[in-house]
Chains A and B, each alone.
Chain A
Amino acid sequence: MYDIRSSCLSGFRHRLLLSYLLLLLSLFPFNIASAAETAIEIIDQMEALYQGESSRASMTMIVETPQYQRTIELEASSMGTENSFIRIISPRKDRGIATLKLDMEMWNYLPKINKVIKVPPSMMMGSWMGSDFTNDDLVKQTTLTDEYALTLEETDELYTIVLVPKEETVTVWGKIDYIVNKQYMVPVAQNFYDDNGEIIRKLEFTELKDFAGRMIPSRLEMIPMNKEGNKTIVIYDNLEFNPPGVDESIFTLRNLRSRF
């Protein structure tokens, strides 16, 4: 009662009280919100790391299994987070096989039979070209920041963001640990767990390299924990941002079908 009366009496006091109240307000819920925001920001930053506004990359993918080892050279272009286009350069047998992702949809093109095959939603967790990466890993159909609840933990060198799927999210993962290097702001590892909290696969980011002024891990190693002796390594040989020639015409079914 006293406060109100006095605030009426004095403009200065009134302002002081208001700012005090604001401060008080901001202390509680806003504090939590800002932490989540940081987590979202970090993830968004990580996910955009390899893409920029548009990008073009040359990669080598090495698929290792107990039975065989296979090396594939790829060329990938992307525009924003929605559009990406990947084409196999070698081996000769598979040359020209291409994958196009537009928004939420994905197609593969097989030049030998001149056929475009749409990847159905049920195949999103299926292997891409026999590797340990899933189609979903490639096209990032699930947006981590939208579909998962994030909590941020911090040490001196690392951010660990724990992603737990929201109730309505359709996913096979029970939890994802996303570990980020604070100094360079680059991903270090992602650990994928199932519903029972058991680790299913690990994605490790190593060998920082300077691509057009950005320090980015150039070697990605995907290790499925339930398949002994299997792993897939992706090495970025070259990565350009906003390169000339990467425009909307690349991300079309017509381009997917074009002879290469």
Chain B
Amino acid sequence: MRLDRLSGRSTRLAGPITVTIVLAGLWLGDSAFWIYNLTLVGAYAIVVIGLNILLGYAGLVSFAQTAFMAVGGYGVAILSVRHAVDPWLGLIAGMAVAGGAAALIGLALFRLRGHYLTMASFALAMGVFGYATAAVSFTGGSVGIAGVPPFVLGSFTFSDPRHAYALVWVLVGLCAWAGVRARDSHVGRAWRTIADNENVAASLGLPVLRYKLIAFVIAAVMGALGGGLYVDFTSYANPELYAPAIIVNIFLMLFLGGRGHTLGPIVGAAIVVIVPLQIAGLSDIQAIIFNLALLVLILVLPGGLLDARSWRGLAAPLRRLRALGGADAQMAHTADAELEPAALAGRSRR
């Protein structure tokens, strides 16, 4: 039977681009700033790749990703610091607990649809954040848990930031690859069908709940992986890593990069982590400038930076302006008000 692959160009590029990023790290050499921050970008990218599977492929809007990050982060921190367990095992334990919890919670959560599902997932994220802050004896409360030891592989310790960098980006590559494989499989097609129309999916014999759970569990495991790596590399876990603002950031990463696009999470994570650091000199107005820039980006490219259709949409008003050409200024002035923001943005790009 011939199977149509739904893959795009970004699929084939995912591997080479990951390799390039890892190699670029070697070239960046001892720029501690870049190595450190790009490592954090990688950890977030893994979390967002998970969200992309859930939201970009299966169409499920869940705010629970930070809850699973917390499971991964505290899994590494509590097991390695308090119980002297190998951080790898802590990481794997965190991922396993997150996956298992997601399967159980999902059974209850997916009785809800649409906005109700989203609100319930938000409650889950808020609950975990509240618990992490309040359960002082278990999580260290708002003080958190410091001194998380680095990963060790045989006699090799990932203590050098460059090693951590290489490790996280190899894992980003693996997660991106896994996401693409899932998307191009029958599971991915089922996700798209469910995202389009759940009732049609069920009428076509697709076990909707099972496919939703698969997406939710994969997202949770990736969330725990990213959360665990983040805590290990910064050697510190605290509730602020899973605060409501972080949920917003994670969604921003996905929507800026381009939901449904393989590389979207990576590009989005890079922008949300790096750009505020680059414009830190603006101090007071930094947040305003950054968020204004985000607003404009979302308005101009609603599908995200990697969404070709959004870029083409950007070109259309430009063409229309050009078609007006030498026509009198009044006509341009009375142009459709709806087109104005895009048209203005288009003009400023030239």
The yes or no verdict on A and B being binding partners is no
Chain A residues at the B interface, C-beta cutoff of 8 Å = none
Chain B residues at the A interface, C-beta cutoff of 8 Å = none
